[in-house]
Chain A
């Protein structure tokens, strides 16, 4: 009997430190999970086709990544896409992308002015694709670039 009580006490003592903590961290996690997080941001520059505004990457509670353009303005053109490129930045003068630059397609541009959102495909490695490019696919022309930096 005494042995049983000892065992029970030992068990309670052992589990005590774990008992209170998981609930607290679980709470923290749900609090974080309900929030959209700002991951990265950067501003556009572009010389040949005047491009300005801000690009920001948000992470939704379910892990989905969204690129949002704000105060955005570029020139209108044919077959313009929003892409992420595996480069630190593109110079103002880099009017054309190198053909071997790795890229992730986010879709056709919704408008050449105004706030807009683009879904980033799941599994996109943001540490590799560090720069947003407004890209005319037909002519391989880079209208504007926004290098992203940690927010």
Chain B
């Protein structure tokens, strides 16, 4: 049985090669497997000079938790290194003792609407208003690669009104 198959292959090898080569070429063209190891790197400049509106270093979108919350949180840095957190298109519900804090997005106590136990956070101050654009100064030593989540936090009831994960802009 084996012998008849191999002799059939041998006697038809040119026909088989004639089929296999175009199939392989077509497969290579379609999948271009070598591209798995070849990177094409570009580095185009921004489509503007210094004439753009101020660009943040981090930004993220706020999502509601215990209370509906929306808007954008961005971190801006001035030339002298001072950093500010700015809320835009911001709205949350009003409440007692509501603070703006930075926490770690990986923190398990942020998973629920209510924080159990102490929250490892950086305090930015009492929330100035529950609606509208507003700025908060960041303490100079804040490590944003660690504290990468903005939290609208009601300290009295340990309620997380809303959070935003900050990503590099």
Binding site for B on A (CB under 8 A): 34-38, 41, 43, 54, 56, 58, 60-61, 66, 68, 70-71, 75-78, 110-117, 138, 149-151
| A residues less than 8 Å from B168 (CB atoms) | 54, 71
| B residues less than 8 Å from A56 (CB atoms) | 169
User: Is B169 a contact of A41 with CB atoms below 8 Å?
Assistant: yes
| B residues less than 8 Å from A61 (CB atoms) | 51
Question: Considering the chains assembled together, what is the distance between the CA atoms of A116 and B30 in angstroms?
Answer: 25
User: Is A113 a contact of B167 with CB atoms below 8 Å?
Assistant: no
Question: Considering the chains assembled together, what is the distance between the CA atoms of A61 and B53 in angstroms?
Answer: 11
Q: How far is the CB of A22 from chain B (nearest CB, A)?
A: 24
A36-B52, A151-B72 known; A115 vs B47 contact (CB < 8 Å): no
User: Is A113 a contact of B41 with CB atoms below 8 Å?
Assistant: yes
A76-B36, A78-B30 known; A43 vs B44 contact (CB < 8 Å): no
Q: How far is the CB of A90 from chain B (nearest CB, A)?
A: 17
User: Is B47 a contact of A36 with CB atoms below 8 Å?
Assistant: yes
Total B residues in contact with A, Cβ cutoff 8 Å = 29
User: Is A115 a contact of B36 with CB atoms below 8 Å?
Assistant: no
User: Is A150 a contact of B89 with CB atoms below 8 Å?
Assistant: yes
Question: Considering the chains assembled together, what is the distance between the CA atoms of A60 and B36 in angstroms?
Answer: 36
Binding site for A on B (CB under 8 A): 29-32, 35-36, 38-48, 51-53, 55, 59, 61, 72, 88-89, 167-169
One of B30, B42, B88 near A111 (C-beta < 8 A): B42
A71-B168, A150-B72 known; A111 vs B41 contact (CB < 8 Å): yes
User: Is A138 a contact of B30 with CB atoms below 8 Å?
Assistant: yes
User: Is A114 a contact of B47 with CB atoms below 8 Å?
Assistant: no
Q: How far is the CB of B55 from chain A (nearest CB, A)?
A: 7
Question: Considering the chains assembled together, what is the distance between the CA atoms of A131 and B40 in angstroms?
Answer: 24
User: Is B89 a contact of A35 with CB atoms below 8 Å?
Assistant: no
A-B contact pairs, 13 of them (CB 8 A): A36-B47, A38-B52, A54-B167, A58-B48, A61-B51, A71-B168, A76-B38, A111-B39, A111-B42, A112-B40, A113-B39, A113-B41, A149-B61
User: Is A115 a contact of B42 with CB atoms below 8 Å?
Assistant: yes
A37-B53, A54-B167, A70-B169 known; A116 vs B44 contact (CB < 8 Å): yes
A114-B42, A116-B42 known; A78 vs B35 contact (CB < 8 Å): yes
Q: How far is the CB of B79 from chain A (nearest CB, A)?
A: 19
| A residues less than 8 Å from B51 (CB atoms) | 34-36, 61
